[in-house]
Structure 1
Amino acid sequence: MGSRRELQEPILPAAPQEAEPQAGHGTEMSFKLEKVLNDPHLPRLKQIWLASCIEIKLLFRLAAPTIFSYLINNFMSLSTRIFAGHLGNLELAAASLGNSGVQLFAYGLMLGMGSAVETLCGQAYGAHRYEMLGTYLQRATIVLTLTGIPLSVIYILSKPILILLGEPHKLASAAAVFIYGLIPQIFGYAVNFPIQKFLQAQSIVTPSAIISATTLGVHLLLSWLAVYKFGMGLIGASLVLSLSWWIIIVAQFLYIIKSSRCRKTWTGFTLQAFSGIWQFVKLSAASAVMLCLETWYFQVLVLIAGLLKNPQLALDALAVW
């Protein structure tokens, strides 16, 4: 452990004050809030009331699109299970076991590790080191992509792993087919989660919500084509889910390189992203542990449901939840 002085030092020293990137609603409302709090002529109660209204409005503008994006991403996963359910009870149980029993493991780990970007990008933005946001984004993507390699091995070996855990052979075989189609999604997580935190650190949340909503429509259409028209079954449903995540990623990245709001925070690819990898791993591992403990309990519940007397019925019920 470092000394007390080392622990209190900021991760990133502040840069000389410079013009901020193009201001959005958050910056404008922050100025209004500061003006209200520093106005000596306002009565105290009125000052508190106005400041509270501004703060609530600011939080809503930031939180609402983020919540919407989260719900859309979860509904894409839910809709995939719905399409799988139209194939039969076994397919629905397999999709539930694959999605909530195996895929949730990778989701919790990757999202937890990606949360370190929120800490680093937030401090870099506050310290006016805008160019470091792009560096942290690339560094996180590298680390999460490398993490995705052993996770892919787990996905490939999902059938013997599930059988070893006591899942019925027929169910494990069907779940493995679904899981194989989710392998590209692992690396989608490796890119998407850092991009999300990169944008959120700059209070840019509405574009992600619009992109997610648009992608949902594409996802539903492609799922319908894959399952009903082309007869691709479970592997088709899961491949469409993976593809939908990559559509979101491409759209978000195009926004980053084209938007004037990211002009100072994204300056292109840099070799500096390959330095400080181990420090980032240590920070991201701590973030991952906290989030994994919150998400993996449901994964254990799903795996236990597969051990019941009628696993298809139990897993079908959990799929609806």
Structure 2
Amino acid sequence: MHLEEISSASTPLLPAKSRSLIDEVQKQLYLAGPLVLVSLLQYSLQVISLMFAGHLGELSLSGASVATSFANVTGFSVLLGMGTALDTFCGQAYGARQYRLLGIYLQRAVFVLLLTSIPLAIIWAFTGQILLHLGQNPEISAEAGIYARWLIPSLFAYGPLQCHVRFLQSQNIVLPMVLCSGITVLLHVPLCWFLVAKTEYGNRGAALATAVSYWVNAVMLGLYVKFSRACRMTRAKLSNEVLTDLVAFVRLAIPSAFMICLEYWAFEMVVLLAGFLPDPKLETSVLSITLNTMWMVYMIPTGLSSAISIRVSNELGSGNPQGAQLSVFAAFIICLTEGIIVAIITILVRDIWGFLYSNETQVVKYASAMMPVLAASDFMDGIQCTLSGVARGCGWQNICSIINLGAYYLVGIPSAVIFAFFLHFGGQVGN
């Protein structure tokens, strides 16, 4: 029997397209699984810090919640968004086998993000005053201002951390990121406990622990890139070449940042709006719990989004648009399945989830009432996140930033204001 006949006889009786689709789903799951875990582990640093701060009391939880929201709006989301430009640059360069360019892109991105962190740090230094001028509760504003100042060192670690994550994931190097992120979280829990419960820092200790942990994670990934054999073809020595084409990077990084920020800002603005509701401490605390839960769950479609971005950019970089189309179809199958499962779990845990953040019965009951709304939001976010990953892989950030502007600010925020303040639905409209 010829080799072709043996191969044909051993092949499952599936159409070629079906086999290709199954193979693509398997590739994305193999890539997305570790990326989901990395996203969850990295985001859990903020969540764990918030949990420890929350058990110090309602004011402490409110202050830390508003500070975290403000930090996400004015800092973390900006750096994350700018870093996603590497999804396009590194992904397509890797697909085109221009390996040395990946190292140049990494250094260029780190340089730009570190420069960007300086004005962001100045904004964080005046968080309390800014919130007070925005009409927030004076007590919460003061507490949030203290928390945000202690978060400032995390800015200068977060940018390089995101750049290294994008650099590695574009090459399908994911397991080292899982290991580094896992070690960081394991160190973060006892560090949080010590600084919050065993020192006089209080909730400032939670912010400091977040900053230290981001630095630990960034340094570990940087050392891996520097010394690993897996990166020997893609790392580059420092040279003036990093500065030669900054404009091209910034030209894509700015719409990339807007694409991410417009979405993040809309949700975090809801927490700030909660400060104007009749019971601001309760509304802010509960809305922060639900939104932090939403962002934590959002890390799952974020990992899936990164996987589809890598697959699309790699296929386009290698000149295979049909492969990119197949990747998009497979991604939608995965994201719809994930969305249904997450929505069901969210509803099932609604009555106990609030205890992770607070011992206050009123807070826990209110959080339980918010969870079904959150489940619906999580399902839709999965679809939106997948589409964003496709756009990044194609380099369509400009178009998507305009779409996000219309969806969140011409429809979303005005609707939240109407439902919360005129129809008196309270914080439940935030999701």
TM-score by length of 1: 0.84
Partner of 1:316: 285
SS at match of 1:182: helix
Out of 179, 186, 203, the residue aligned to residue 172 of structure 2 is: 203
| Alignment of structure 1 residues 101-112 onto 2, 5 Å | 101-112=70-81
Once the two structures are superposed, residues 145-199 of structure 1 have per-residue CA deviations (whole angstroms, 9 ceiling, x without a partner) of 1111111111011111100000121211110110011111111221011111100
Partner of 1:12: none
Q: Does 1:190 align with 2:170?
A: no
- Aligned-residue CA RMSD in angstroms? 2.0
Q: Does 1:224 align with 2:196?
A: no
Partner of 2:269: 300
> Identity of paired residues, percent?
36
Relative contact order, higher structure (CA 8 A, sep 6+): 1
| Alignment of structure 1 residues 217-256 onto 2, 5 Å | 217-256=186-225
Partner of 1:290: 259
Structure 2 gap ranges (5+):
291-431
Q: Which moved more, 1:237-246 or 1:68-77?
A: 68-77
1:124, 1:133 within 8 Å by CA — same for their partners in 2? yes
Residue 54 to residue 231, structure 1, CA distance change in 2 (3 Å):
same
1:138, 1:273 within 8 Å by CA — same for their partners in 2? yes
SS at match of 1:218: helix
TM-score by length of 2: 0.63
Structure 1 residue 233: Cα displacement: 1.1
Out of 62, 87, 90, the residue aligned to residue 118 of structure 1 is: 87
Structure 1 residue 282: Cα displacement: 1.1
Partner of 1:259: 228
Amino acid at match of 2:116: T
SS at match of 1:320: helix
- Distance in 2 of aligned mates of 1:103 and 1:128: 35
Partner of 2:327: none
- Distance in 2 of aligned mates of 1:93 and 1:139: 38
- Distance in 2 of aligned mates of 1:314 and 1:42: 59
Partner of 1:150: 119
Q: Does 1:64 align with 2:33?
A: yes
- Distance in 2 of aligned mates of 1:43 and 1:61: 21
Amino acid at match of 1:300: M
1:227, 1:236 within 8 Å by CA — same for their partners in 2? yes
Residue 272 to residue 39, structure 1, CA distance change in 2 (3 Å):
farther
Partner of 2:99: 130
- Distance in 1 of aligned mates of 2:288 and 2:67: 11
- Distance in 2 of aligned mates of 1:274 and 1:238: 34
- Distance in 2 of aligned mates of 1:149 and 1:267: 26
Once the two structures are superposed, residues 73-129 of structure 1 have per-residue CA deviations (whole angstroms, 9 ceiling, x without a partner) of 222211111100111111100010000133333122111111111111112212222
2:164, 2:221 within 8 Å by CA — same for their partners in 1? yes
Structure 1 gap ranges (5+):
1-34
Q: Which moved more, 1:105-114 or 1:161-170?
A: 105-114
Amino acid at match of 1:60: L
Amino acid at match of 2:285: D
Structure 1 residue 239: Cα displacement: 0.9
- Distance in 1 of aligned mates of 2:118 and 2:94: 31
- Distance in 2 of aligned mates of 1:39 and 1:111: 47
1:96, 1:318 within 8 Å by CA — same for their partners in 2? no
Partner of 2:388: none
Out of 41, 48, 54, the residue aligned to residue 23 of structure 2 is: 54
1:103, 1:179 within 8 Å by CA — same for their partners in 2? no
Amino acid at match of 1:202: Q
2:45, 2:210 within 8 Å by CA — same for their partners in 1? yes
Structure 1 residue 43: Cα displacement: 8.2
- Distance in 2 of aligned mates of 1:219 and 1:309: 36
Amino acid at match of 1:120: F
2:196, 2:206 within 8 Å by CA — same for their partners in 1? yes
Structure 1 residue 41: Cα displacement: 10
2:158, 2:218 within 8 Å by CA — same for their partners in 1? no
Structure 1 residue 39: Cα displacement: 8.1
- Distance in 2 of aligned mates of 1:119 and 1:259: 23
Out of 59, 67, 70, the residue aligned to residue 90 of structure 1 is: 59
Please state which structure has a larger fraction of its residues in helix. 2
